[in-house]
Amino acid sequence: MTTITDIGTLINHNPEIHGGCPIIAGTGVTVRRIAIWYKQGYSAEEIADQISHLTLAQVYAALAYYHANRDQIDADIAAEEAEGDRLEKLHKTQKLS
């Protein structure tokens, strides 16, 4: 007998993990991380190979969540990149002092 998985159970939010952003259930892998790799040209299969503890179904669930909430996830990615840039500039400034 096969087991049916409700895909709604594959993504969740936990305020104690990554500030409550969407993650693949049972892992600490964020949808944002999957979306970044996808936007860099990785296929779902390649992402699942690189993060070997994820199933292909989990990666596709993250991608479906990303596409359904693209504006929000893209805004999160942009904010994360801006914060990284800010910290890098701060670090460079402190090294020169």
Amino acid, single-letter form, for residue 80: E
Q: Which domains does the chain have, with CATH numbers?
A: 10-96 (1.10.10.10)
Q: Can you give the pLDDT at residue 51?
A: 96
Query: pTM for the whole thing?
Result: 0.84
DSSP per-residue codes, 61-92: HHHHHHHHTHHHHHHHHHHHHHHHHHHHHHHH
Euclidean distance between CA atoms 56 and 73, whole angstroms: 20
CA-based nearest residue to 35, from 84, 80, 82, 83: 80
For residue 46, what are the contacts with CB-CB under 8 A and spacing of at least 6?
37
- pLDDT per position as a tens digit, 38-87: 999 999 999 999 999 999 999 999 999 999 999 999 999 999 899 998 89
What amino acid is encoded at 4 in this protein? I
What's 48's DSSP letter? H
